[in-house]
Structure formats: structure tokens, C-alpha cells
Structure 1
Amino acid sequence: MGASAVTSFALARLLGPESFGMLNYSTALTAIFFALASFGLENPTILRLVRGGNPASVLGTAMAIRLVTSSVCLIAGCGIVWLLEGAFNTVFWLNVAQLACMSFYVLSSAEFWFKSRTEPLIPAAMRSSAVAVSSLGKIGMAVASVPLVWFGIPVLLEAAIMSLGVYWAYRWKAPRDERALTFDRGQVPGMLKDAYPFVIAAFSVLIYMKIDAVMLGKMAGHHENGIYGVSQKLTEILYIVPVVLTDTIYPTLIGKRTQGKKEFARLFQLFVDGAVVISLVAIVCSILLARPAIMLVFGEEYAASVDIFHINAWACLLVTLSYVRARWLAIEGLQKYESWATAIGAVTNILLNLVMIPRWGAIGAAWASLLSYAVAGVLTSFLLPGTRAVGMHQIRALWPFGRLAAAVRTHYLSKVTP
């Protein structure tokens, strides 16, 4: 469990549903603007650096683009928060503080230089240090009952430590001729063209994953959002299961694909079957433990989170199916369809939230998320061209009884046939 998850659990207990709901709402809303501000520049920038582009020019241009997009998103974000929440209240200042972090994250583009050289240690150390300082600050402020409006300070401090640390590490590690960053106008059109698919994908993912918290906070109130947020954080722990499992088997799947489609299909079906079984075991165990765990860790005021978690937990199965499909698409060279699936899921989530949240509050948001995961992770396999084969793998894993009956029938006939 990461430091961020531990911090979230501690804050939920210390602050209570109302204040924790405000933080959850603010974080979800600003995350959407961050996706736009980053503008999908990471992969195009790293690719140019790996291919031998001048780091001073490539990084300088990437930072300049990010400065413009961050400034636009900062102004637009503050304006939208003003319209949604009014001016100069607690929620307004929490959002403004988190949006202001964009100014620091422009410098964190220096991290791309380390990634292009496969030297992740320094950026990881800076990020861990920043998160640790921010987490201790938030927990200390919660223990001291500091007004919630001041919780934006640790967030700004985290951004400053991370961004300035990575930037000065780049200045220290890079050769002298690469330190003076320059802006190359000629690279801008190419970088924007290459970044466009990534920003659309990132924005779709953030809408897909965060819009429920934004809409719930606005339509049902921050107390309801706080109850939902605890369930959501617990559910995210379950998502570790498909990530670890899939990343472990992925190299083997790539090797089997070179041996022919038939052998690959057989192995992939076994892989999907196993992933589904493991996910189901994790879901059932977590549901059985949910009530005592939530009562022990968070207290009676979060009792309503139990019923929400019983719905959210099943998303682990759908996330698993979506994650293994993404690997299948990568192996087959069809990654573009994953962005379409995510965009469809995001739109579905918004529409379902509009219908379900006013009627059922956090329970409605949980059902909306679960159904949108089913649409994005499984149904789109049959809607999008070129993905129906993996869709059949998913259905066979979800409904294995037909294959089991066929296997029993074949075994029986082999015994009675002379």
C-alpha cells in the first residue's frame, strides 16, 4: 500500500466524511485540469531524446508548451471553480492551491531526461521525499485541527520539492552544453501533433476515473462524497491484483505470440481464466472483511461505505478484464482501440451519474462506475473492429460452464466409444 493511500485513510479518520469529502472533490476536479495541462508531452519528448535530439532544445520547448497550457488551465480552472463553488470559500481555496501546483510542474519536465536515459532513481527519490513531506504535513494539520482551508499548503510544498528537486538534479547531472534550455519554435508543431493522442487518452482516463467524485460532490454534497471516497480508496487497492498478475505474465505472452496464433490463443485463454479466478477470490475475501475493517479503521461514521464497497469491489473483475485486453491489444498492435474504449467508458459514466446520483447518491455513483467499467472493459470489445477475438476470450472466462460441459462430454464419449 502506497504512502498516498495510507495518508488518505488517516485523513478520512481524522477529518470525518464532510471535510474528507471536500478534499476528495478538490483532488478529483483539479486532476482533470492537470491532464490537460500536461498535454501528453511525456512520450513524444522522451522519444525525441532517445532518438538523439538536443536535450536543451527538446526539454526547453516541452517546458515552454507546458507553461502555456498550464497557464491556460490555471486560469480556466479557477474560473470554473468560481462558477461551481463561489469565490473565497474553503473549497475554492483548496482547488486554487492545487491548481497553482501546475506552475511548479512545468519544471518537472526535466524528469523526461532521466527517463530517456533509464535513470529513474533520482526522480523517484524526489517524488518520494515530496510525498512524505506533504503526507506528514497533512496528517499533522489534521491532528492539530487546523482549518481545512490551509491544507493546500502541503500540496504546494509537495509540488515545489518534486519539481525543483528534479530540475536542479538535471542541472547537476546533465553535460554543460545541455543545461541552458532553449526554445525551438520549429519543433512545436511536431510535438503538438505527436502529443495530441496522448492528451486525449489521458483526459479520457481522468474523466473515466475521477468524474464520479466531482459529480457526487456537486450533486449530493461533500459528506456523501467522503463516504464514497473511502470505499473508492479501498477498491483501488484491489486493482493491484490485475496489474501485478498481468505484468508478470506479459513477457511470456509476447513470446508465445511468435509461435503462432493457435498456441497464443490457447495460452491467453488460460491466462484470462486464471486472472478472473484470482480476481474473484480477492473480491469475495475483501467483501467478507469489509465491514469489520471499515469499522475498525474509519469508525462508525463511515458505516455507509460498507454497502458502497460491496458494489465497488466487483469493479476489480472488470478492471482485470480491461487490463488483460490492453496487453492483448499491445501484442497485436491495436493499442489505438484502448483509447476509444476509455472514451466510451467516460461518456457512459457521466450519463449514468446524471441519472443515478440524484436518485441514490453514493450508491448510484458506485453502480454508475461499475456499469461504465463493464461497457469500457468488456462491451467495447464487441463494438470496436479488430477486438472481437479478445472479447470472446473475456466471455469464455466469465462464463466457463459451456467449455466445462464440452470437456466433460468429450471425456465421456472417449470412454464409451469403442
Structure 2
Amino acid sequence: MIRSSDYTATIAKKMFVVFSGTAASALVARFLGPEMRAEYAFIQNSAAILVVVLNFGLSNYYQSLRRQQGPGACAGFVAVSIKMAALLMLAALLLTGVLNPVHHMILIVACCSLLRLQFQAVSLVENIQGASIATMLGSLAEVLAMVLVWFWAPHAVGWVVCAFISKEFVNTALSLRAIVRGPDQVSTGSLFSIKSLVSQKSFPVVRSAMMRSIPLFFLIVSTTTLYKVDVLIQSELNVNARDIGIYVVGVLVAEYLWIFSDIFKDVQTSRTARGEDARGVASAHRMALFLTIIIYILFLCFGKFAINLVFGSSFSESYEISLLMLIANIFMIPSKVIGSYLISIYNVKKYVSIMVFSLILNVILNFIFIPHWGVYGSLMANILSYSVAGIGVILIFYVHTNIDFRDILLVKRRDVSAVFARFYRNDRGDV
């Protein structure tokens, strides 16, 4: 069952993230320009890949752990996250002066993002409305930090990295607050004092996670790398920095438009961890596809004007990048919505195989296409590899559930009516 409050909180979060994220991205783009924007993208993408390696699938494992062990799984998982972050930050401090500045920034960003990722995964299950507030205020913190940077800092990538870290810090702190105030944690009287967290036995959680999360580890590494590797390959192949900067903004805009499908993905993550059935997942997938296509049509009409207005004329070519990237992103919606269901029921082996194959295909196609077509070669590689991933996930879901393809792909009038009705009612029902 899906509560209207869950959808309302998630929609509010996504709308706020789109607007605040666009504001922050516009400030970053105008502050750095296309060339330095490419350097910042290299740091962000490298850190994102490092995070999923260091995380070793733990954040995704929590859904399955919570479903098996109930509310009692929370405290041990939070303790593990805190201890991991402390060790990694200590390593970053010890390596000060050893690594070059760019690599050191990558490591520090990865440490901050890792703790945020793990806390966010827990809060999304334990307190979805609190998780939404944490995300919104974190995004607001980045905007405010970028405003300060804009007026008082010299033009350098390091200052933008500091603004990003401020977002991660606020999101992490408020995610922990949401976890502590989660209804199941309050009702069971769980204690989250510093003393109780330090005394929590972390080894059983880590051992269990390591034994079961290897498939999840390969899944999240392959998925995140699939999204981020194109910019790294472009840098490796010495694509012009200005072209990379324009490409990064175009991809970023497409991601913000694609984020509306996360409304359904985030709710399903919370609900499947608590026992939501497959038909609810199919309905959420239909609506995610429908909503993304509507957003695509609107962007096709007004996107070029919007990009010039927000990012400036130096990024006007990002419009074409966004249009093509949105085509690729539509194919990845099944991995978002249906993928959360497959993770929750721990049916991931075929899912992992599809994503690893898509990543390998993406890397190969990038190396083939980029020398001929530059950043547009990356777009072609993304469209082809993402389509393989999306179609593969749908086939896995169909085989597992035997739900008709029309019920997975084609939106129904009652879907639209049911979702809109939930914005005005607090009752329960199927979506």
C-alpha cells in the first residue's frame, strides 16, 4: 500500500531538488566557465565511482537487512557507517601532502558522500518524509554556499568542492535525525546515543553484508560507473575541455528532468523493503515512464530558452546534449523503479549480469565513437548501452512475476487518477 503522504513528501523533495539543484548548477557553471566546469566534473565523477567501491553495496543491502530483521537492524547499520567514515577521513588526513590536490579533493568528497549515501539509504526506509526534508535542506545548503562563493571567493574549483561538501554534511546530519525519529525506531525505543553507537557490534553486520552484498556491490559499481564513465573517458582521450564542460551541463539538465521518475523509485524503495508486491511496482514503473515522456515533450518546446536563461549563452549547445541524453535516460527508468524491487527481494544475479554487460558495452562504444564524433559519440554509446540495460531489466521482471508487458509499460487512466487522488486524501489504496 502507498500512503499519499509518501508521494506528497517525495514529490515535494524532487521539485525542490530540481529547482535548487538547477540554481546551484547555474552558479557553478557561470562561476567556473566550460573549461573549469570540466575539471569539476572529473572530480565529481571520480569521487562518485570511488564511493560505490568503498560502500561495497552496504547502502543497498540495508533494504534486504531491514526486511529480514525488522527495526532492530537500524542501530547496528548506523554504527557501521559512522565507523567506516571515521576510518576513511583519518586516511584522507594522513594522505594530506602525499596525493596531488585533485586526487586529495576526490578522496575527501568520497568520504563525505559515502556517509551521506549510507545514512540516506537508511532514512529512506525508516522515515521517508524525514529523508525528503534532509535532501531538500542539503540542496538548499549548497545553493547558499555557492552564493557565498560567488560573491567572496576567487574563481577556483576548490571553492565549488567546499560548497558541495556543505550539502553532503547537512544531508548527512538531517538524515541521521530522520532515522532517530523514524516511527518504528521510536515505537521500539531504540537508543542512538553516542555511547550506544560506539558500543554496537559492527562485525556481525559487516560480515553478513560482505557475504550477501557481493552481487549488490557489482550492481551499484556497474550502474554508477555506467552513468559516470563517459566524462572520464573523454578526459582520457583528450577531448576539448570546453566541449566536455558543455556536455556535462547538458547531461546534468537531463538528469534533473529524469529525476521526476525518482518520485516512484524512492517510494517503491521504502515500500518494497516493507513488503510491497510486484503489481505496485509495475504501476509505479508505468507512471514513471509516462511522467518522464511528458517532461521530455515540455523540454523539447522550451528547453533551449531555459538553458540560455539559466546557464548563459556559452552553454547553449547543451540543449542538444540534453535532448539526446534524455532518450538514453528513458531506457534506464526500469533500472530505477523495477531495480529497487529486485534488490529488496534479493533477486539480483540476472540484474547484475545485465548491468555489467551494459557497462562493458558502454566503455567499448565510448572508445570507438569518441575519436570520431567527440562528446556526441558518448551520447550514442549511452543510448545503445542504456537501452540494453532497460530492456534486460524489464525481461527479468516479466520472467519473475509473469506480469503482462502492457501492465509494465502502458499507463492506464486509473493510474493517473489514483496518483492525483492521493494528493488530496490520506487514505490507503493501491496505486
Alignment TM-score > 0.5, same fold: yes
The answer as to 2:244 corresponding to 1:235 is: no
Q: Match for 2:325 among 312, 315, 319?
A: 312
In the TM superposition, residue 228 of structure 1 has moved relative to its aligned partner by 0.6
Cα distance in 2, alignment partners of residues 233 and 301 from structure 1: 16
Residue 102 (structure 1) shift: 4.5
Given that 2:26 and 2:311 are in contact with CA atoms closer than 8 Å, whether structure 1 keeps it comes out as yes
Following TM superposition, by how much is the alpha carbon of 1:142 offset from its aligned partner in structure 2, in angstroms? 3.2
**Contact 1:353/1:365, CA 8 A, preserved across alignment:** yes
C-alpha displacement of 1:100: 1.3
1:10-409 matches, within 5 Å, as: 10-44=27-61, 47=65, 50=70, 52=72, 55=75, 59-65=78-84, 87-88=100-101, 92=102, 95-104=103-112, 111=119, 115=123, 118-119=126-127, 128-144=136-152, 146-151=154-159, 152-163=161-172, 174=192, 178-185=196-203, 187-219=205-237, 220-244=239-263, 279-323=292-336, 325-326=338-339, 334-378=347-391, 386=399, 393=406
3-state DSSP class of the match of 1:386? Answer: helix
Q: Distance in 2 between matches of 1:208 and 1:6?
A: 26
Partner residue of 2:23? Answer: 6
Question: What amino acid is the match of 1:226?
Answer: G
8 A Cα contact 2:60 2:343, kept in partner: no
1:127–1:162 CA contact under 8 A, matched in 2: yes
Q: Give, in whole Å, the separation in 2 of the partners of 1:105 and 1:272.
A: 28
Partner deviation per Cα, 1:317-347 (whole Å, 9 max, x = no partner): 3234555654786799855433322222221
Aligned-residue offset at 1:227: 0.4
Amino acid at match of 2:240: G
5+ residue gaps, structure 2: 1-14, 182-190, 412-431
Distance 1:235 1:75, change over 3 A: farther
Q: Once structures 1 and 2 are overlaid, which stretch shifts more, 304-313 or 119-128? A: 119-128
Q: What CA deviation, in whole Å up to 9, does each residue of 1:235-267 have, x standing for no partner?
A: 11332444446778999xx77959xxxxx9xxx
Which deviations, in whole Å up to 9, do the C-alpha atoms of 1:271-328 show, x marking residues without a partner?
Answer: 8777656544432332232222222222321222222223223224323455565478
Cα separation, partners in 2 of 1:288 and 1:116, compared to 1, 3 Å: closer
- 1:181–1:154 distance in 2 versus 1, CA, 3 Å: farther
Q: Secondary structure at the match of 2:208?
A: helix
Distance 1:272 1:296, change over 3 A: same
- Give distance in 2, aligned partners of 1:353 and 1:167: 39
Q: Is the 8 A contact 1:97 1:153 kept in 2?
A: no
What count of residue pairs does the alignment treat as equivalent? 377
Shift in alpha-carbon separation, 1:316–1:153, aligned structure 2, 3 A = closer
Question: Which structure 1 residue ranges, 5 or more long, are not aligned?
Answer: 259-263, 399-418
Q: CA RMSD in A?
A: 4.8
How far 1:22 moved relative to its partner?
Answer: 1.6
The equivalent residue for 2:185 is: none
TM-score, reference length from structure 2? 0.68
Which structure has more relative contact order (CA 8 Å, sep 6+)? It is 2
* Contact map agreement 1:45 1:112 (CA 8 A) in 2: no
Give the Cα–Cα distance (whole angstroms) in 1 for the partners of residues 168 and 409 of structure 2: 46
SS of 2:72's equivalent? coil
Pair 395,350 (structure 1): closer, same or farther in 2 beyond 3 Å: farther
Change (3 A) 1:382 1:294: same
Q: 1:326 to 1:62 in 2, by over 3 A?
A: closer
Question: Secondary structure of the residue that 1:52 maps to in structure 2?
Answer: helix
Aligned-pair CA distance for 1:369: 1.1
Whole-angstrom CA distance in 1 between matches of 2:74 and 2:343? 30
1:110–1:170: 8 Å Cα contact kept in structure 2?
Answer: no
Partner Cα distance (2:292, 2:73) in 1: 44
Asked if the contact 1:97–1:156 (Cα under 8 Å) also holds between the matched residues in 2, the reply is no
- Percent of residue pairs bearing the same amino acid type: 18
